[in-house]
Structures are given as C-alpha cells and as structure tokens.
Amino acid sequence: MFYCLYVGFFLDQRDNRIDIERYIREGDRVLDVCCYTGGFSVHCGVIGAEVWGVDISKRALEVAEENMRLNNIDNYHLIHGNAFDVMRDLIEEGEFFDVVILDPPSFTRTSEDVKNALRAYNTLNYLGLQLSRRMLVTCSCSHHIDRETFKSTVVSASLRAKREIKQIGGYRTQSPDHVISMANKNLEYLKCLFFAVD
C-alpha cells in the first residue's frame, strides 16, 4: 500500500475480512462504515456484493477506489462524509443493506474518554441496526473498552433500535501476527462481533 495513517491497510483485521466472505451472497447490498482504504469492502465486492463505503478521509477513499479497480470490482459507491451524518441520511432516504459493517477508529485515547466513547459506539450501532436487514459486523479498536462492555453497548443499541441480534460465532480479535502478551492486556485491543439481525 502507498497510503498510510497507520500502515495503510489494517492487517489486524485480516482474518475477520476473510471470515466475512462466508456470510456474503452475490447481489447483497453491503454498507461498510469507516471503510478507510476498503479492506472489508474488497472482500465483499469480490463475492459479488454491491458495496457502499463511507469514510471521512478523501485520500483513503481514493485508495479504496484504486483497490476496487485492482480487484476488478465495479459495483460500488464511495461516500465522503461523517459516518453518523451519512447513516442518518441513508435512513432518511429509506435505504437498507443486507450487511452493515462498522469499523470506526478508536473513539477513546484515554480512560477518561470511555463514557463518551461508549455513547458514540451505542449511537453508531443504533444507526447501523436501523439500516441492516440481515447482519451486523461491529468493531472496536480501543483497549480502554473491554469486550464485555463493548458487547453490552451493542446489545443496548439493539434494544434501542428494537432489533433482535444473535451473535454468530465467538469473540473475534486481531489476526495472530498481532500477538497478545499475557503480561499486557492492552495488547488485546481489537473486538469484532458478527451478529444476525432480525
């Protein structure tokens, strides 16, 4: 990759991107929120999904578009804007997606920010659940928020949205090359949950 805020392509999500291919059907509509350079979008697009990617970084979307081209994906829409605003607009327009993926940057850098971060995760998932017909993939990369707290926040959002969610598989975390030291729990920072949505 030739663009970098981090390494340009979040390698810690590699296995989760591969795993999502099992749940994508040709013709699905997929909304990839905070898509960055298109990691999840590409994996869905190669299956034959219609992909909508949203990100606040114009440069990241330029790279995402190039990644679509390199992978011979032509059924995609890339939207530049604030994730919350774009999702509200899509709800207002009556859009629905078979699968909604939420992979935002960390909402908290310090433990003092956790309360505000949980509020943001709740709202993001609430909006995502209003747009999803079948599946929600939701992630957090903040080591200040443990996986049970994150899951509880998603459950709270589902109750608020009046949508039933059922967890698919167990807890997903970073790929094995991002090792987790037993002496430093902060290294287990990535939480990724797959939910069926009714």
Give the separation between CA 33 and CA 99, rounded to whole angstroms.
11
Catalytic residue of the set 35, 44, 141, 192: 141
Cβ-based neighbours of 104, under 8 Å, separated by 6 or more: 33, 34, 83, 120, 121, 124, 139, 140
Nearest CA to 55 out of 28, 30, 29, 83 is that of 83
Residue whose token pair is 């002496």: 183
Q: How far is CA 62 from CA 34, 78, 162, in A?
A: 14, 9, 36
Is-catalytic flag, 141? yes
DSSP letter at 111 equals G
Contact 114, 145 (CB under 8 A): yes
For the annotated catalytic residues, the residue numbers are: 141
